[in-house]
């Protein structure tokens, strides 16, 4: 089966390949893009059980010398001690400047392995092999890497672009429904930014059936934005749609609510707030809510507007007395709203009361 190729145009450009059966062909695809080197595969224990042997076989068939590092699955592994074990593993394996790391897994693996690749020997290459929908449509593209600190999520990290992204859509067959929903939230966010035909595909609630066009359109959108704004000083900030509330909900829940679920609630609140304040060109809130619900996502929260505003204002995205929100005015049209921080709680309240 042929695959799609979506380029990300940066100083050092790279391709995102999307299609079925890509993991089984990973060795030859990596050889074409990167040439000869040693490959260190980084993956979590769940993904290792499903896909590591297949990937290692393909790499060896393509003539690669490999080693692999497996860590316990889950966000708790995205922290300093795993990073430090990983860096020591690279050193013990004597990886050199010309070698390469493969991040095989979801966003946790990509963020951790990308960060380790970005600082080992002041930066070696890495390849993303996303196996969750969230990683495929969002975290594997754009070069943001990070680990969590006890003080908060993603507090230590760097921009380090991958050299190649291989997105094997067959991986999503083994993904539990909640993980598919988690990724669908980021896809719906992209659909609200991009508009049609992506949003309509997501409105069906049947992501599995439309997986290839959904992933392709999300990747194309993100690749284009990242190509315009590599380090998030301008248009890339649009990708924060739903995230001010989303991050606040994650924080208030002690990070027990997964990122995508929190973003889903954030998308619903911001859409209802925009609509109830008359700041939209067309009714959007009901459509956005129904797309979220059909994909198994929540649209309300038990936390108060006050608690969410307090959590949001302690977040790093705050600048001075203003906070920048991304607000939808129609499906396919969002804009930046500079809001005085004192008005944030009322803005959230408008979106939460309209949801009752
Ligand atoms: P994850 O990597 O923990 O994966 C979720 C779960 O699915 C894990 O238990 C994993 O083992 C399992 N899994 C992965 N692939 C599977 C498959 N094909 N079949 C069955 N199970 C599979 O989490 P995630 O949701 O992919 O990513 C969340 C992380 O991504 C967060 O840490 C978040 O901060 C980060 N993130 C980063 C960016 C970025 O731009 N760098 C963007 C968004 C999110
Ligand atoms: Zn996100």
In the 3-class helix/strand/coil scheme, how is 51-100 assigned residue by residue? HHHHHHHHHHHCCCEEEEEEECCCHHHCEHHHHHHHHHHHHHCCCCCCCE
Dihedral sign, Cα of residue 41, residue 44, residue 46, residue 49 = positive
189 is catalytic: no
- Residue 321 phi/psi, 5° resolution? -90, 10
Check if the beta carbon of residue 163 is closer than 8 Å to that of residue 126.
Answer: yes
9 has catalytic annotation: no
- Least distant ligand from the CA of 111: 1
**Strand pairing class (65-71; 100-105):** unpaired
Active site residue 236: yes
Query: How much of the chain exceeds pLDDT 70, in percent?
Result: 97
Q: What is the mean pLDDT of residues 93-105?
A: 98
pTM above 0.85, yes or no: yes
Tell whether the model's pLDDT for residue 279 goes beyond 90.
no
pLDDT band at 319 (very low <50, low <70, confident <90, very high): low
Residues with CB under 6 A from ligand 1: 44, 46-47, 50, 73-75, 78, 105-109, 111, 131-132, 134-135, 138-139, 142, 144, 154, 171, 174-175, 179, 182, 259
Q: Which of 228, 229, 134 is nearest to 190 (CA)?
A: 134
> Peptide bond before 197: cis, by omega within 30 degrees of 0?
yes
Whole-number average pLDDT of the chain? 96
Ligand (nearest to CA of 74): 1
356: pLDDT confidence band, cut at 50, 70 and 90? low
279 touches 316 (CB < 8 A): no
Mean local confidence (pLDDT), 36-62: 98
- What φ, ψ does residue 119 adopt, rounded to 5°? -110, -20
Separation in Å, CA 104 to CA 98, 289, 313 = 19, 33, 35
pLDDT exceeds cutoff 80 at 162: yes
Instruction: State the catalytic residue, choosing from 78, 222, 272, 349.
Output: 222
pLDDT band at 2 (very low <50, low <70, confident <90, very high): confident
Nearest to 343, CA basis, from 241, 273, 242: 273
- Contact present, 178 and 198 (Cβ < 8 Å): no
Flag whether pLDDT at 5 surpasses 70: yes
Helix H or strand E encompassing 111: helix 107-119
Instruction: With beta carbons less than 8 A apart as the criterion, state whether 263 and 242 touch.
Output: yes
What is the average per-residue pLDDT within 80-105? 98
Scored b (16 or more CB within 10 A) or e, 95-112 reads: beeebbbbbbbbbbbbbb
Q: Which atom of ligand 1 is nearest to the CA of 51?
A: 18
Q: Which of 62-71, 213-222, 275-284 is predicted least confidently?
A: 275-284
Mean pLDDT value across residues 36-53: 98
Contact by Cβ (8 Å): 102, 41:
yes
Radius of gyration for the chain, computed over Cα atoms and rounded to the nearest angstrom:
20
Among the bound ligands, the one closest to the CA of 70: 1
Angle of helix 243-252 relative to helix 305-313, nearest 10 degrees? 100
Residue 117 in contact with residue 160, Cβ under 8 Å? Answer: yes
Q: What is the mean pLDDT of residues 224-230?
A: 96
Check: CB of residue 31 under 8 Å from CB of residue 63.
yes
Distance CA 253, CA 255 (A): 5
To the query of whether residue 259 is one of the catalytic residues in this protein, the response is yes
- Give the three-class secondary structure for 338: strand
Asked if residue 291 lies in contact with residue 203, where contact means CB atoms within 8 angstroms, the answer is: yes
Distance CA 318, CA 316 (A): 5
Burial of 228 (0-12, 13-18, 19+ CB in 10 A): exposed
Is pLDDT of 342 > 60? yes
């Amino acid at each position: 089966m042929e695959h799609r190729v979506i380029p990300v145009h940066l100083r050092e450009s790279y391709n995102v390949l999307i299609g079925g059966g890509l993991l089984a062909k990973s060795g030859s695809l990596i050889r074409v893009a990167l040439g000869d080197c040693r490959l260190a595969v980084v993956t979590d224990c769940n993904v290792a059980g499903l896909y590591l042997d297949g990937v290692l076989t393909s790499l060896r068939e393509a003539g690669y010398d490999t080693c692999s590092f497996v860590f316990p699955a889950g966000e708790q592994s995205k922290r300093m001690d795993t990073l430090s074990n990983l860096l020591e593993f690279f050193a013990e394996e004597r990886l050199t400047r010309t070698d390469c790391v493969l991040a095989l897994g979801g966003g946790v693996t990509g963020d951790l392995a990308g960060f380790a690749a970005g600082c080992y020997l002041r930066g070696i290459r890495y390849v993303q092999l996303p196996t969750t929908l969230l990683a495929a449509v969002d975290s594997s593209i754009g070069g943001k890497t990070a680990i969590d600190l006890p003080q908060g999520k993603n507090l230590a990290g760097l921009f380090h672009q991958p050299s190649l992204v291989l997105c094997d859509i067959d991986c999503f067959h083994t993904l539990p429904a909640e993980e598919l929903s988690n990724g669908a939230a980021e896809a719906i966010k992209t659909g609200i930014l991009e508009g049609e035909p992506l949003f309509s595909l997501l409105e069906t609630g049947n992501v599995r059936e439309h997986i290839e066009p959904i992933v392709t359109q999300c990747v194309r959108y993100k690749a284009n934005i990242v190509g315009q704004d590599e380090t998030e000083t301008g248009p890339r900030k649009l990708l924060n749609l739903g995230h001010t509330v989303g991050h606040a909900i994650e924080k208030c829940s002690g990070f027990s609510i997964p990122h995508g679920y929190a973003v889903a609630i954030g998308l619903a609140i911001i859409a209802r707030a925009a609509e109830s304040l008359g700041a939209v060109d067309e009714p959007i809130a009901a459509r956005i809510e129904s797309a979220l619900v059909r994909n198994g996502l929540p649209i309300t929260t038990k936390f108060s507007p006050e608690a969410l505003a307090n959590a949001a204002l302690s977040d790093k995205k705050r600048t001075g007395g203003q906070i920048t929100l991304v607000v939808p005015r129609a499906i396919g049209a969002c804009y930046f709203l500079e809001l005085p921080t004192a008005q944030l709680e009322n803005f959230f309240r408008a979106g939460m009361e309209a949801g009752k």
